[in-house]
Structure 1
Amino acid sequence: MTVVTPETNQHGAKAHSDGGWDAPEGAYVPVQTRSARFKSNDPSEHPAVDGREAEWKLTPVPFVRELIDGELDGSPYAFLATQTEGADAEWIDRTDARIGVAGQAEEKSSANAWNSFEKAMSITVTGEEPSEITVSRSMLGTTARGAHTVITGTRHSRGRVILQNTGDARLVENVEIVVEDGAHLTVVSVQEWSDDALHLATHFVTVGRDATFRHVVVTLGGKVVRVNPSVALAGEGADGELFGLYFADAGQHLEQRVYMHHEGANTKGRVNYKGALQGEGAHTVWVGDVLIGPNAAGTDSYEQNRNLVLSEGTRADSIPNLEIETGEILGAGHASATGRFDDEQLFYLQARGITEQEARRLVVLGFLTEIIQKIGKPELEQRLQASIDDELNRSAAGTGGGAK
């Protein structure tokens, strides 16, 4: 076996051909498993981003350069919170013990946000009676901003947290989510930004023993939006469900890189993301990583991504990955598919007197509604369905444009 060093690498190169030229000392060796990626909350310890890295090569880096390594405004921002008893939101200091529990930055943009925020928003769900809180942000403006949020579902609590994003934004943020033992927590993140908004987000999640976590990401608006959930099913019997829906219009780049790490025994994981694309230059990226660790005996895991292409000139990148480090599992699998309308479905509907335009609308709504229904809040589900319907109607009328 040949040991590869900087001096003996292929073609005389000083680093691996996939990148790593500016990596910290010793980090030039290719990462062998997903959990071994370099982590640091200090942006200076991350190599410079030039867009050729595996984590960035599908992202339009020039558009989000200021968020990756530029100066960020980390001051608290205006938000609106509506909640029931058992849920609350407040600002906490950087030194609070709740910060840093769920994860560490694996990307320079995430580290830049971590290094920049002055105070973190803390959202806490307590009590065994179901509770709910919606935090709305609509006045972030066009200044590059770094933010940090900590969401805690306390032991045996039950609740739902909705993060609603609208308006202008140049935002990079980290969201830490801690689901303590026996808790049942749903977190919904809705991106309905204005057409020129930029948003990079990493959601770090740790799920405790016999806890249940549901994560739903809905992205309809924004120029470049990248939301990356990283979920550790840490406790024995932990259950994680990750759902996503995205609808990209002309010129939009919507990206999600999903990582589910089965750490504890007898854990169950499900990942299901669906997207639709229409208009020249619409681009979506989905990368799904599932890692079943050596101590995760009895794991049951499955991930899938489906994309529906509605017009010419679009691009959907879909990359599922599965790593298994123990043979004692119940099952594991992954799937990915990207395609156009099912002609048989359209024929079936048109044969019953439905116009082609209406038939296409019904097929798209039926395709995406499965994800919307995972939210569990009827008023929000109906509003999102109406937003998608409006997108389809405006497209049929030839107006195009991003989600409003």
Structure 2
Amino acid sequence: MTTAPTPTQTPDAPATHLRAPVPVQTRSERFTSTEVADFPAVTGREAMWKYTPVARIAELTSGDLDGSPYVYDVTAAPGVSTAWIERDDRRIGAAGKPEDRASANAWSAFEQALLVRIEAVEGDHREITLSRSALGAAPRGAHTVVDVAPAAEATLILQNRGAAHLSENVEFLLGEGARLTVVTLQEWDDDALHVAAHFAELADGAHLKHVAVTLGGGVVRLNPSAHLAGARSDAELLGAYFADASQHLEQQVYVHHDGPETRSRVTYKGALQGHGARTVWIGDVLIGPKAVGTDTYEQNRNLVLTDGARADSVPNLEIETGDIVGAGHASATGRFDDEQLFYLQSRGIPEQEARRLVVRGFLSEIVQQIGSPSLQERLQAKIEAELDSSPVAQADAGAEA
């Protein structure tokens, strides 16, 4: 645990006259603690909260959370086990510590952590699905640790459905040479609240592919971070999201290059439709002083389908060594391309089908990298269902009727 910083006292001034602390300007300097009491109340003026509808998730940042074990389903696979572990287990906190009050509130509240242990076994690549669909609407805090043994290889699908008012932390520990694909699916009910911090620690030669797909929930704020501590470790952080009216979907991504010759690629793509639809993407990449030979690139693309929707995109890059292979970032937000739509319609494709093709093609870059054909097909169908519910699609259907 780290104690909270205190204001500094000016020279020759009484203790009652204190300077306000200098705001943290970079991601690497953020304060961390596992105790919720160490964080001030969230107002929405803080840099890390200024894009978030904090009033809608106040119960998760400041309220009491139920941290008891919950019901989950997991598919069986060789060398994979799950168990509830106590708070003093050495693996808890090994991948990272909370940087905000919601994460710390969940950390302070959980009674036991859910451990997913993936051993190295000979044979085919394993696919495991961990499902949660009965969390309920009461405020809840949770903690999960995914421990991947050296040289182990697997795909882990974290399936989230149903009602939820959830704040949680998820840790991924990748041993030397381990290869893990994580697909976290947010398909919550329309009024669900979900605030999550994902922490990944990569040893030498480890590879992580983290894919976040968010299609449901009223407010979903998912903050994945990857610490490339080991030499030649590699991380791909991918995301696809589709926001409807009054839906707020937010991602704050952090990649810390710490070991030598590490590589990362960050690609997030989102679509928005309907009045009040809002997405936020913040991407932070830090290349530390020891991270010689780093190769990194991050990008975010947003497609605005209707009026009344808003997308915020903020890429950031910190470089503390000049000996790198390459580093860059890009961001773009644009409206639906009417010329592209006209091109497809001129070839006999109806307008709604043309829209479906454009959006499906836009998001398929992410979905197709999951590596599970059945899951990819299901998500493509889900995206098309989102399109069918748009005001444009409903207007077209009414005109045809």
TM-score interval for Structure 1 and Structure 2 normalised by the shorter chain: over 0.9
Partner of 2:101: 108
SS in 2 for 1:221: coil
The yes-or-no answer on 1:64 pairing with 2:61 is no
Give the 5 Å matches for 1:112-123: 112-123=105-116
Distance 1:317 1:198, change over 3 A: same
Once the two structures are superposed, the pairs formed by residues 88-107 of structure 1 within 5 Å of their partners are 88-107=81-100
Residues 329, 123 of structure 1: alpha-carbon distance in 2 compared, 3 angstrom cutoff? same
Query: Given the superposition, is the C-alpha separation of residues 14 and 319 from structure 1 closer, same or farther in structure 2, using an over 3 Å criterion?
Result: farther
Using the TM superposition, give the Cα deviation of residue 86 of structure 1 relative to its aligned residue in structure 2, in angstroms.
Answer: 2.0
Q: 1:15 to 1:241 in 2, by over 3 A?
A: farther
Shift of 1:348: 2.5
**Structure 1 ranges of 4+ moved more than 6 A:** none
Q: CA deviation at 1:82?
A: 0.7
CA distance in 2, matches of 1:196, 1:32: 33
Alpha-carbon shift at residue 345 of structure 1 (Å) = 2.2
Shift, 1:6, TM fit: 6.5
**The 10-residue stretch of structure 1 (84-93 or 289-298) with the greater mean CA deviation from structure 2:** 84-93
Alignment match of 1:283 (pick from 275, 278, 281): 278
Distance 2:24 2:389 in 1: 45
* Residue identity in the other structure for 1:176: E
Q: CA deviation at 1:88?
A: 2.0
- The counterpart of 1:353, out of the listed 348, 352, 356, is 348
- The residue number in structure 2 matching 1:217 is 212
Q: In structure 2, which of residues 351, 365, 370 is the aligned counterpart of residue 375 of structure 1? A: 370
Q: Does 1:85 align with 2:85?
A: no
2:85 partner amino acid: I
RMSD of Structure 2 on Structure 1 (CA): 1.8
Q: 2:184 aligns with which of 167, 174, 189?
A: 189
- Counterparts of 1:247-262 in structure 2, within 5 Å, are 247-262=242-257
TM-score by length of 1: 0.92
Identity value in percent: 60
Alpha-carbon contact 1:119-1:148 (below 8 Å) kept = yes
Q: Which amino acid aligns with 1:185?
A: L
Structure 2 CA distance for aligned equivalents of residues 319 and 15 of structure 1: 30
Shift of the 15–372 alpha-carbon distance from structure 1 to 2, 3 Å rule, reads: farther
The residue type equivalent to 1:69 in the other structure is S
* 1:153 paired to 2:148: yes
- Residue 87 of structure 1 contacts residue 132 of structure 1 at CA under 8 Å; is this kept in 2? no
Matches within 5 A, 1:334-353: 334-353=329-348
CA–CA distance in structure 1, aligned partners of residues 49 and 183 of structure 2: 25
SS state of the match for residue 215, structure 2? strand
Partners in 2 of 1:80 and 1:319 — Cα distance? 36
Which residue does the alignment assign to 1:397? 394
1:32 CA drift (Å): 5.0
1:5: how far off? 6.4
Q: In the aligned structure 2, how far is the partner of 1:30 from the partner of 1:5?
A: 13
1:327 is matched with 322
- For residue 222 of structure 2, what is the aligned residue in structure 1? 227
TM-score under structure 2 length normalisation: 0.92
Specify the alignment match of 2:161 in structure 1: 166
CA distance in 1, matches of 2:281, 2:346: 35
Residue 343 of structure 1, CA deviation: 3.2
Whole-angstrom distance in 2 between the partners of 1:398 and 1:110? 42
Q: 1:361 to 1:242 in 2, by over 3 A?
A: same
Q: Hey, what's the Cα distance between the residues in 1 that align with 2:395 and 2:223?
A: 32
Provide the rounded CA distance (Å) in 2 between the counterparts of 1:68 and 1:31: 20
Tell me, yes or no, if the aligned pair for 1:87 and 1:131 is still in contact at 8 Å.
Answer: no
Q: What amino acid sits opposite 1:112 in the alignment? A: N
Which runs of 5 or more structure 1 residues have no equivalent in the other structure? 17-27, 400-404
CA shift, 1:7, in A, is 5.4
Deviation at 1:305, TM superposition (A): 0.2
Question: For structure 2, which runs of at least 5 residues remain unmatched after alignment?
Answer: 1-6, 12-16, 397-401
Determine the structure 2 residue equivalent to 1:40: 33
* Equivalent in the alignment of 2:312: 317
Aligned to 1:20: none
